Amino acid sequence: MSQKVAGPVTLGVKIYELDKSGILDNKVGIDSIPVTSLSIRLTTRAGAALGELKTDGTGKATISKTWAELGVTEPKAGSSVSLTWTGEYKGQAFSRLSRVQAIN
């Protein structure tokens, strides 16, 4: 994702569960159901903690940080930070990797 050099950096993730109960019915198919109230931890890939979040009713979790909080003291176009979103759902641990890059 890209964020402006000036101003806050808004990071977000959406978590869905796949409902495969209608996989054999072409009128139903696979459905995506938002996972609500799921605890997620956001860190840099270097391991610096950025926050603990919970998904809302639409399965979305967002957090706002400054570039300095992300470890970029002098952001310029092209600066980037690699992130890891981690959590556990129904006994299964997961990680989602992402990257935020500064643009003018």
Identify the domain containing residue 23 by its residue range: 2-103
CATH number at residue 88: 2.60.40
pLDDT of residue 47: 94
| Global pTM value | 0.86
Count the domains in the chain: 1
Cα separation of 68 and 16, whole Å?
31
pLDDT tens, residue by residue, 40-96: 999 999 999 999 999 999 999 999 999 999 999 999 999 999 999 999 999 999 999
All residues at 6 or more sequence positions from 44 whose CB lies less than 8 Å from its CB, including other chains: 50, 70, 71, 81, 82, 83, 84
All residues at 6 or more sequence positions from 72 whose CB lies less than 8 Å from its CB, including other chains: 79, 81, 102
